[in-house]
Amino acid sequence: MDARDQCITPLYKSIEGFLVDAGDARMEDARLRALLGCGHHLQAQVAMFLSQWKPGFSPFREETMRAVCDFVGTRRRKFGEKTISVQRKKKIFAH
């Protein structure tokens, strides 16, 4: 088991779970930024989560929105196509 599986993936899963039930706008904003911090190592997971996640509160702070736009924009070409491909394959093989 490598460091990513031992450290980063459990941290990511915890943050993802907290985002689903953030409690208030400040916590949701902070947890979203923490999730983006894991995004450098777990790009596909974060991109897929963001594509399906519905925020409970809005608006986010300007810095947080910029970080989301930077994350999505930087990775959209390479990982956007991969994410779409994975989702299509999941639908095909689910039937």
The CA distance from 40 to 57, in Å, is 25
The whole-model pTM stands at 0.68
Assess whether pLDDT exceeds 70 at residue 30. yes
Q: Which 3 state secondary structure label does DSSP give 7?
A: helix
Both tokens of 92, joined, read 């095909």
DSSP string of 11-56, one letter each residue: HHHHHHHHHHT--SHHHHHHHHHHHHHHTTT-HHHHHHHHHH---S
Q: Give the model confidence (pLDDT) of 32-80 as tens digits.
A: 998 898 887 888 888 888 888 888 887 889 999 989 888 887 766 666 6
Domain boundaries, the chain: 3-94
